[in-house]
Amino acid sequence: MRYQSPQPKRRFLAGVSCPKCQAIDAVVQVNITDPTPDEYIECTQCGHSEHRPDPDSISAKNNAEDQLARDAMATGTSGTVKFRN
């Protein structure tokens, strides 16, 4: 059996910028196993933390955007321009 420490495991994410302060190479991924498993990112500069979005909410958002695009094509009107990173 592999030893699991109750301490949070931190992994440095090279080349990632903080969504809040835009500091590069300051973001760590934190994995917690005890009491309940959790995973999030945290900025070492400003302290901003963010959880990964729920897959169901991402799917619902994508379906809503797809429906807007289909409606715009059906009526012949232009849709919203969205730039993705």
Q: Please report the pLDDT score of residue 82 as a whole number.
A: 75
78 and 65 Cβ atoms separated by less than 8 Å:
no
pTM equals: 0.56
Per-residue pLDDT of the chain (85 residues; tens, 9 = 90+): 466 667 888 999 999 999 899 999 999 999 888 788 888 999 999 999 988 777 888 888 888 888 887 877 777 666 567 787 7
Domain borders along the chain are 9-75
Task: Give how far the C-alpha of residue 55 lies from the chain's centroid of Cα atoms, to the nearest Å.
Answer: 10
Assigned CATH class of 9-75 = mainly beta
